[in-house]
Chain A
Amino acid sequence: MQSTTLILLLGLMSIAAFYFGRRRSLALVGGPGHGSALHSLPGYYGYYVVVWVALPALALLLIWVLVEPRIVVALVIRGLPLSYQDLSAGELNLLVNNIRNLAAGDVTSVNVDAVLQNAADRFNGYVAKSRQLLAVLAVGMAGLGGTIAWQRIDPDLRARNRVESVVRLMLIAASSIAILTTIGIVLSVLFEAIRFFQKVPLTEFLFGLNWSPQTAIRADQVGSSGSFGAVPLFTGTLLITGIAMVVAVPVGLMTAIYLAEYSSNRVRAIAKPLLEVLAGIPTVVYGFFAALTVAPWVRQAGESVGISVASESAMAAGLVMGIMIIPLVSSLSDDAINAVPSTMRDGALGLGSTRSETMTKVILPAALPGIVGGILLAVSRAIGETMIVVMAAGLAANLTANPFEAVTTVTVQIVTLLVGDQEFDSAKTLAAFALGLMLFVVTLVLNIVGLSFVRKYREQYE
C-alpha cells in the first residue's frame, strides 16, 4: 500500500472516530438535548477518540519511514554472497546504489549479473512486505486505539482537558523545533569539522597562508599538495565585506536620515517601497547582475584610468553586495532614529540648531548603539552571503588587499568543495564543514552582539 493511501485511510478513520465519539457521548446522556450533563462539549469526546486513532498510527508511520530503508538494505546485504559482503564500505555503498537503481527500473552503472538481479528482486520483495506489514500494523493500531478510547467515553471523562493537554504538547514540540534546528546545525558542522581537524591541525587551518584543497588522488601526483591554510579565504571575505560596507553604511544611513527627517510624505511613500523591492530581489539575481553587468563595467572603468582589473574582481562583487545590503542598513537605522524620543529633537531644534546639526549632534549620538547593532547585523549578512560571490568572485585563493584582484571567500569555497559527488571522508569535503563552522560561529557572535545592542538600546528609551 502506498503511504499516501495509508495516510488518506487514517484521515478517513479519524473523521469516523470524531463522529462516533461525539455520538456516543451524546447517547450516554440521552440525546442532544442533554449535552449539559457531560463534562465537556460533545465535540471534545470526538477529538478524544481522534487523538487515539491518529497519533499512535502516525508515530508508527514516522518511525517506519526512518528505519525501514536501513533494515531493508541490511537484509539485502546479508543475503548477498560472502565475496560481496567483504567489500569495503565505499564499494558496498555503490553496490547498494546499483541494486536500488535496478529495483526501481533505472539504468545501473555496472553490468547486471544474476546476483545483482536477485538482490534487486529481494529488495523489492522486502519493501513490498514491509509496506504491507506497516499498513496492517498502522490500521490495527488506529482501530484498537479508537475502540479503547470509544469505550472509555463517559459523561464524567474530562475529555476537554485531555485533548487540550495533547494540543499543548504539540505546541511545545513545534516551538522546540527552533532549538532542534540550532542543535542540528551545531552538531552537523561540529562533528565533520572535528574529523577535519584530526587530519589537518587547527593551527594550520587558522593561520596557514596557503589554500589549495585539491588533495592528491594518486600518491605520486604532482601539484596537489592539499594545503588548508584558510587565511586567504578570511582576508578575501573581509575584503569583499569591507567594500560592501563602504557602500552600504553611508548610503543606507543617509537614506534613512533623509527619509525620516527631510523628505515629503510623497517621496517617502514612493522611495520606501522601492528600497524594499531591493531587499526582495533574490541573491542569485544580484549575482547574475554582478557577474554579467557590473564586472565588465568595473573592468572598463579600471582600464580607462590605467588599472588592471581582474574579470572577477572583488570590487564588482563587493559593490553589488553593498547595494543589496542598503535596505537592511537603512531600515535598521530608521528604527534606531525613530526610537529617539522626539523631545530630544524638539529641544535641539528649539535651541536654534539646524536640522543637520540636530541630526549629527543629538539624534545620531543617541541612536548610535542601535545603528552599530544594525551595522553588525549587516556585516554578518555580508559574510554569509553566498550567491553573489559564487557567481562574481573568483575561485583562486589570493592573499591580497587589492580590490581589483580576484579573491575567494569562505562561502565560495564551501560551495565549490561540496557541489557534485564527493566521498565523505576526504579532507577536502570535511574542510567545507570546518569553514561552515567558522562561518556559523562568526555570524552567530555578530548576530548576538548586534541584536543585544539593538534591543538594549530600544529598552533604554521605552
Chain B
Amino acid sequence: MSKVQTTLQKVEAGLARRRRKEKTFRVLGILATAVGVLFLGVFFATLIAEGASAFRQTFMQMDVELREDVIAPGGELDLVYADFDGLVRTSLREQFPDVSGRGDRRQLYRIVSAGAGYQLRDMVEASPELIGTMQTVWVPAASNVDMLVKGNIDPAIDESLRPLSDKQIGWINTLQEAGKLERRFNVALFTNGDSREPELAGIRGAAMGSLYMLIVTIVLSFPIGAAAAIYLEEFAPKSRWSDLIEVNINNLAAVPSIVFGLLGLAVFINWMGLPRSAPLVGGLVLTLLTLPVIIIASRAAIQAVPPSIREAALGLGASQMQVVFHHVLPLALPGMLTGTIIGMSRALGESAPLLMIGMVAFIVDVPGGFTDPSTALPVQIYLWADSPERAFAERTSAAIIVLLGFLLLMNLAAVIVRKRMERKW
C-alpha cells in the first residue's frame, strides 16, 4: 500500500517540472515557426519599401527648339550624326541663363539623363515635320535627380559626401518649384534593355532572354521528362539498369546547380561549339537541371492512376502501349503538368549555372532569337545588385518584385491545374 503511495507521490512531485518542460517545448516550437514566417514578413516589407519607388521615375519638362541647322544641315535629315544632345544643352542653358563657366555648365548638363537626346531623335524620326519647331517635352531626369526627389539623397549632408553639388540641388529646387519636375510611371523599366544609366536601364532584355530560355526548356524537358517517367513506371523491367536510372535521377535532383553550369560550359560550349551567352545553351542547361524534378513529379502522377484502369483496358484487348497512351497518360497529365510548371518556376529563378555559360555579360540589346547574346532575369538582378549607384539598388528590388510576380503566377497556375483537373479515386 505504501509502495503505491510513493509512486503516486513521485509522479505528482515531478508533475510541475514536467509541465514546465512541456510548456517550454511548446514555446520553442512556436518561436521556430515564427522565425520563418517573420523572416518572410521582414523580407517582403523591405523589398517593397525599397523597390516600390522604382516603378515611378522623375521626368523633367524642357522646351527644346528642334533647330533645322543642327538636325538637318543643308535640308537633309541625318539621324546618326545630328547633335541632339546639343539641343538639350541649349535648352538647359536657356532655362538657366545665369549659369556660366565650363564647370558649372557641365554640372548643369548632368541633371538631365543621357537618354534625352535619343528621345528627341526618336521623336524627329517618327515625325520629321517637327523640325524647326519649338517643342515641350518630358525627358527623364538623371538618376541622381531622381534619387534626390525620392528622398534617397540627403541634401543636408556635406557636399562632398553626396553625388549632387549644392548648385545642382539649387537648380533642381528651382525646377521643382516651377512644376517642371514630375514623377511618372517608369516605362523604361519594362521597355528597355540594360544600361549603364540607371534611369534608362530596364528588364526587357533580361525578361526576353528568360522567356527564350524557358521556351527551349519546356519544349525539351516536358516531352523527355514525361517519356522517361512513362518508361520507368510502365515498361522498365525490374533490373539493375532501371534501379541505376532511378538512383541516378534522385541524385541528379540534388546535385548543386553550379555543377550543371560546368557541364554546360564543357559540353555545349567547348565541345559542341554552341555560342556563349545564348538562351539556347541556357535552355539546354536548365533542361538537364529540371528534368529530374519533372521525372519525379510525373512518376508520382502515373503511380496515382489506379491499376484497375490499366487492367480494364488490358482486359478489353488494348496493347500495353495503348493502355498507357489512351488511358493512363490522360489521367496522369494534370499531375505531370503541375510538376512541369514547378520545374519551370525553378528554372526561371536559377542563375548560378547561367553565370558559367557566359549569360552574365552587359547586354544592351533586347535579344531577338535563341542564339542572340542575352542575360536572364535573375542574372540581371545579380548584375544590378553589384552596381554601386544608389538608383540601381532600387531597380534591383523592382526587378526582384517582377521576378517574384512571375514565380507567383506560375505557382498559382500549378495550383489551379491541380485543383481543376485532379481526380480523386
Contacts and interface: CB of A to CB of B under 8 A. Distances in A.
Contact of B319 (A160, A177, A261, A385): A160
Contacts of B156: none
A290 to B, nearest CB: 10
Contacts of A151: none
A397 interface: no
Given A258-B33, A287-B382, A354-B21, A178 B256 contact: no
Contact of B40 (A171, A278, A383, A386): A278
How many of chain B's residues touch chain A, expressed as a range?
35 or more
Interface string B351-382: 11001101010000000000000000011011
B273 A384 contact: no
Interface string A64-100: 0010011000000000000000000000000000000
Interface string A431-462: 01100100110011001100100000000000
A178 B245 contact: yes
B219 interface: no
Given A280-B411, A293-B46, A167 B404 contact: no
B349 interface: yes
A274 B36 contact: yes
Contacts of B397: 288
Contacts of A354: 18-19, 21-22
A391 B396 CA distance: 13
Interface stretch (B101-109, B116-124, B179-187, B224-232): B224-232
Contacts of A259: 33
B142 interface: no
Contact of B251 (A175, A189, A444): A444
Given A181-B263, A384-B255, A254 B248 contact: no
Given A174-B231, A323-B39, A418-B356, A440 B255 contact: yes
Contacts of A313: none
B385 A287 contact: yes
A384 B259 contact: yes
Contact of B258 (A271, A287, A415, A447): A415
A451 B251 contact: yes
A343 interface: no
A263 B31 CA distance: 12
B403 A285 contact: yes
Contacts of B227: 170-171, 174-175
Contact of B291 (A177, A357, A386): A177
Contacts of B355: 386, 390, 415, 418-419
A439 B259 contact: yes
Contacts of A443: 254-256, 259
B29 A255 contact: yes
Interface in B384-417: 385-386, 393, 396-397, 400, 403-404, 407, 411
Given A171-B231, A177-B224, A390-B382, 15 more contacts: A178-B295, A179-B245, A185-B259, A255-B29, A255-B36, A289-B46, A323-B35, A356-B22, A377-B254, A384-B258, A386-B355, A424-B270, A439-B256, A447-B255, A448-B247
